[in-house]
Structure 1
Amino acid sequence: MNEIVLVTGGTGFVARWCIASLLERGYRVRTTVRDLGKAETVRRSIATVSDATGHLSFVKADLMSDDGWAAAMNGCTYALHVASPLGVAAGSSRDAYVRPARDGTLRVLSAAVDAGVRRVVMTSAAAATRPPLASGLLSDETRWADPDDPQFDNYRVSKILAERAAWTFMKGKATEFSTVLPGAVFGPVLSSENLGSVKIIGDLVAGRPRFLPRLGFWVVDVRDLADLHVTAMTAPQAAGERFIAAGDFQWMEDIAATLRSGLGPNGSKVPTRRLPTALVRLLAPLSADLKPLAPLLGRKFALTSEKARRMLGFAPRPVSATVLDCAQSLIKMRA
């Protein structure tokens, strides 16, 4: 197969698995990195799950700069825009998150359109479909979250506004466009950097926090997420569509119980006791980690991935397998 796929942000957790999924299907893959000095480290990590890294190449490009994007897109049939801006300090203003996410996305899409790329698939977030928490409404692909809703932190606001800007920009363009909106992404890691939500699993294995807040997540395995990106890239029916990628909902105490029962001695530090929600709400304003999660305490909001299952054959694996594979890969990496 001579078709080239560009994957943005090759050092990222999701991007590495997207690259591996593409290589295993016979595509030639080009990926962007901000520092070419990291290219061989990325190649070696992907080689642990794919024998086809000879078909992987690298180009330098940064979401915050126009440089490199025309060359990155040149000759590509498809593009997966997975990258998110890095380096935004905790506590930064809303604009500090929104501008790089939105402007970087528009930079990628503009280059793709100019290069005549057939289809771009963008990674958004399931939060971009979330209604007000007390509404009782279902999160599905027909819904757009309100970026001014106080439930959202600056990072999630940036994802909402970046996807909105992308759909507006791509309207009427010859290049086809689709978005994939994942829940909390867990699963085996190929690198110790850019782990995102995987840090939740790593902390639990290490015994943090000592007491579990009543927080829950719609979980998706990174391998299933990568495969869904590739399916959305080529399936004719996926053009012009949004797809939520999520498996089952899990409370943190459910995840902790899976880890303790499935990891043997390696799960001995996993906490078991729940912290009262009233106390967490009291402490949340004092914690940089808890503050953005405070609106979600004790809430299981309704969400569906039925569209991805029906249209693209999305079949997420059991959450227990995802959580244990994630933890075991972290333990192995730290050994």
Structure 2
Amino acid sequence: MPETVLVTGGSGYIAGWCIVELLRAGYDVRTTVRSHGKEKAVVDAVSTAVDPAGRLGFAVADLTDDEGWDLAVKGVDYVLHVASPLGGAAPDDPDAMIAPARDGALRVLRSATAAGVKRVVMTSAANAASPTSYATEGVTDETLWTDPQDPTLSPYRRSKTLAEHAAWDFMANAQGSTELTTVLPGAVFGPILTTSNIGSVGIIGRMVAGSMRGVPRIGLEIVDVRDLADIHIRAMTSPDAAGQRFLATGEFTWMTQMARTLREGLGAEGLKVSTRQVPDLLVRLVARFRDPSLREITPALGRRNRHSTDKAHRILGWQPRPAQETVLDCARSLLAHDAL
């Protein structure tokens, strides 16, 4: 009998590709949604890449509520805890994102350990293993933990760090045989399955559409969503992955390089892409006086911190594809879905 994997947050961008790759690998999949009304959208998205008939089931569960999680994990062999709150936290409520991420992870782990699930693979973020915002150069690995008290951390970055801390603390005292592994991805791009939830891919969409008239001096460690799904499955099955953190980052790429790749690689469809680099001072001024949403990115201006993925290569045999391929595949997928 095929083993069954629970993937949390099935309507999400990363979760969708995890479902696709698990089905391709022969697993049965159950995924959580916040309501039954979201099931068809997940099936439609997954069906663009693989036939899920008879092998994809659903459970209704929400990260903010205890109800549903025991039933969601019942009878499954593994859990990929991919779901996470996204978006900016309200200025008057800094815990608006932290609490769902941290408490949601604990809900999943409590139910998984009680049910005797073999292993939980939790999606964290490379930003949970990064140096202080004042550092501008260097290469770090999984042994480093981001300081959650750094005042420049965005709510998202703080939430991922605290959620992963809470998960490891919980597992240190948990009873039973369930194992935990965490995967820490960089900036996730690649093809989309649906236009309903494209996440960070929207950056490339804005570049191709020409609505981004210049690019800030920010570098990203680009990982393809297909490679991210692959490392989740490798981390789920490798005997040596139990109790480990794995960075899943790709090539460090300045946004100006991304823009040139799009402009040169898309032909006529890339003519609107701006390769003009916006001066750091201008970005800071706009963030301060005109667009407060930009304040979260100003600490990253000019930084070239990178992460080592040697551990993932060595233990899991994981090898991500080139960033240029990911960026172009992402753009072509957005164009094909008329998602600009």
TM-score (norm 1): 0.96
AA at the equivalent of 2:335: I
For 1:164, the equivalent position in structure 2 comes to 165
Q: CA deviation at 1:288?
A: 3.6
The equivalences for 1:293-312 within 5 A come to 293-312=297-316
> Please, which runs of 5 or more residues in structure 1 have no aligned partner?
none
Cα distance change of structure 1 residues 328 and 91 upon mapping to structure 2, 3 Å threshold: farther
For 2:273, the equivalent position in structure 1 comes to 270
SS in 2 for 1:301: strand
AA at the equivalent of 2:40: E
Instruction: Give the Cα–Cα distance (whole angstroms) in 2 for the partners of residues 137 and 86 of structure 1.
Output: 28
SS in 2 for 1:198: helix
The equivalences for 1:17-36 within 5 A come to 17-36=17-36
Instruction: Give the Cα–Cα distance (whole angstroms) in 2 for the partners of residues 91 and 198 of structure 1.
Output: 25
Deviation per residue, 1:118-172 (Å, 9 max, x gap): 0000000000000114445532100110011133111110000000000000114
Cα distance change of structure 1 residues 92 and 310 upon mapping to structure 2, 3 Å threshold: farther
Q: CA deviation at 1:194?
A: 2.8
The equivalences for 1:82-231 within 5 A come to 82-85=82-85, 91=91, 93-135=93-135, 136-173=137-174, 174-231=177-234
Moved more, 47-56 or 241-250: 47-56
For 1:334, the equivalent position in structure 2 comes to 338
Q: CA deviation at 1:59?
A: 1.0
Please tell me whether the aligned partners of residues 281 and 294 of structure 1 are also in contact (alpha carbons under 8 angstroms).
Answer: yes
Q: CA deviation at 1:45?
A: 1.2
The sequence identity of aligned pairs, in percent, is 55
Cα distance change of structure 1 residues 92 and 328 upon mapping to structure 2, 3 Å threshold: farther
Q: CA deviation at 1:304?
A: 1.0
AA at the equivalent of 2:24: E
Deviation per residue, 1:12-50 (Å, 9 max, x gap): 000000001110111110000002112122112111111
RMSD after superposition: 1.5
Q: CA deviation at 1:92?
A: 5.4
Q: Is 1:16–2:52 an aligned residue pair? A: no
Q: CA deviation at 1:88?
A: 5.9
Report runs of 4+ in structure 1 exceeding 6 Å deviation: none
Please tell me whether the aligned partners of residues 3 and 77 of structure 1 are also in contact (alpha carbons under 8 angstroms).
Answer: yes
For 1:58, the equivalent position in structure 2 comes to 58
Q: CA deviation at 1:309?
A: 1.0
Deviation per residue, 1:241-279 (Å, 9 max, x gap): 000001101111100111111111111111121111121
SS in 2 for 1:79: strand
Instruction: Give the Cα–Cα distance (whole angstroms) in 1 for the partners of residues 169 and 257 of structure 2.
Output: 39
Please tell me whether the aligned partners of residues 86 and 97 of structure 2 are also in contact (alpha carbons under 8 angstroms).
Answer: no
> Please, which runs of 5 or more residues in structure 2 have no aligned partner?
none
Cα distance change of structure 1 residues 8 and 241 upon mapping to structure 2, 3 Å threshold: same
Match of 2:256 among 245, 253, 257: 253
Please tell me whether the aligned partners of residues 220 and 316 of structure 1 are also in contact (alpha carbons under 8 angstroms).
Answer: yes
Instruction: Give the Cα–Cα distance (whole angstroms) in 2 for the partners of residues 8 and 160 of structure 1.
Output: 19
Q: CA deviation at 1:180?
A: 0.2
Deviation per residue, 1:31-72 (Å, 9 max, x gap): 000021121221121111113443001111111111111110
SS in 1 for 2:19: helix
